[in-house]
Structure 1
């Protein structure tokens, strides 16, 4: 990829999106639909190899997020868009519904508050169920009360990303793999000059518009863009947080997703089902200095903690049926012990750099919100 020394004239491409996870691909699709010439750069050899391929694949309803936050608005909008996109494009998905359980009477006020917050966010189909009503739906679950969210489901995230990539290419866009962005400069004409590395070969690519949707690498790239400008803006710092998943061997007795009540910005060890009905539990929450997807069983201590958490709502969890699954790393923009943060989608108003949109802290519900985030990014880069 050898580019012109193009900051004096026309750039090589109109719009570059850095990162081919679900949010980068959704943003590129929305931009291509809006008429942009789009190129997506991905440092890995396939799309969605970091955060997007290591999640619970849940389509969230929008229960948990503060009123009028980006997470609340984009999750509720994105959920509707995602179900419609999946139907139209044959992306496998299942609307299982979710039970958020209060495992003791003293948790009931928090459950009622969650129901009220959900309705305020526009999630109008939630309902409180008593213990007998929960047992009728899920005989293995024990709780004092539960909140039913019928619009929660799961989706095949890989099939979703393949479909998004297909839309990008159909609109004359491109997705370039094995290409990392090492540096960002800004030329006299205001074009971005991206120093790239592809299969060991350095090159420079120029563009008029730039979207940083690089997940765990967003803060590093945002800092490089700021260094190239005269702004005093400081990008949010990314704090990697690892989460382990265990899979349930053999058949599952459940028909719904099951979540404990959230606490301290963490949704707890929850039960999810994939599109084939297989059960998995997780993630836990482990803050890191550097991201790692290596599964650390801690000589059985991690499994013991999982089983203890699961027994709060499934007392009959059998021994020796949980196997190590996989590890995901979430790009959080708040440190351990701090309040959870909203999505940070920063454009010129925030950082002072024209035609740059940088996305930080796009963790859950990023998958659910992806199409709505893409549309929002496209509005920020209107001509």
Structure 2
């Protein structure tokens, strides 16, 4: 039986959550379901949905309890008559509750992507039929916030197999020496992603390695060359062919202080670029320490630098990790994510 699913995502930027919504909607359509995604006007998600020929509706969602937005969504509920409403972020969650007031026959499913303990009895009360946690760490946080384990499904985020293309040659582009050890950071350059720690990590590298390391920053502002802790870095900003850009790296730095799972890390592993990360959130569920990457105790900057030095000095270990990381990343496929989400829907509808 095919399902009509109304997805809600209020994000104005293109981040991991929005990418998952796009992949999920595309996968559901391929399975014969009928998804409709409500997204912010002029958002990258809206443009990409329409570019992919997926049904999408623009609704400006200014705040959690935006009455006008809730009314617009409620009108869509009346005209489109979905089997399931699926909210994908905190604001969409609140707006869905408002739009569904009095409509008890339409179940609400909420995806939770952050490993923080939630607050608020209304938002996390029984009106949400089921929560989808993107990792065990997110599930544990929901349980600590009072959500019963019986109302939570863990469905790991999924990424498609990266396209096969020649890696981007950063050494040639930037005029860096051929023996450069090329590291990278990928994603939104925000505080919780550990961007402020990059300089401290660089300062703790051995002097000889510090001179040889170059750091490419993919995401955030494109500010060109900078120096971070004595390491020459290049702020490339957001790039269109991000997989080619990532494939040109030797190592991924992921010094995030909080991570639901980390789709940038999955992408890196799928491309055969081993990651180093703090053991926070869902990352230990993704990275097998010593096999598909290295995990460092949370906040241990010296340990992070030591891990960089270890992999820089051991090409054979990097090669083993390259193959192991690709095999591990294959377990986090879009197909599994789509199927796991559908199974959560079926549990709700079977009640």
TM-score (norm 1): 0.33
TM-score (norm 2): 0.35
